[in-house]
Amino acid sequence: MAVCTKAYYLDQAAARLALAAIHEKARKQGRTGKLPVRVYPCDLCDGWHLTAKPVTGKPPPWDVDPNWVRPGPTEHLQRRSRDAVTPSRRRRSPSPRSTG
């Protein structure tokens, strides 16, 4: 399982503020390149991220309702995130080497 390495926002409001700030800064600088266009919840870290991918088909509930909150408990997401991160943080114990 991949470790989430994207910019992390605690909640949808923080992600939307960051998105607005990015667009404002780009507007002031006259940038017209590819910019993030929306926010989405991450199933790995239980945080929020920005994406430049437009919605295709029916919009997800968080795009429709800025107050949307992930339903149900999120312990499984926290466990998945911990399981994904822990192996990379483990230190190998020195293996005994024979000097024969």
Domain-wise residue ranges, the chain: 12-85
Alpha-carbon gap, residue 35 to 53, rounded angstroms:
9
pLDDT tens-place string over residues 19-62: 999 999 999 999 888 999 999 998 888 889 999 998 889 998 88
pLDDT tens-place string over residues 62-71: 888 888 887 7
The confidence score (pLDDT) of residue 63 equals: 87
Neighbour tally for 16: CB within 10 Å: 17
What are the residues whose beta carbons fall under 8 Å from the beta carbon of 68, sequence distance 6 or more? 12, 61, 62
pLDDT tens-place string over residues 88-100: 444 444 545 544 4
Q: Is 85 exposed, middle or buried (0-12, 13-18, 19+ CB in 10 A)?
A: middle
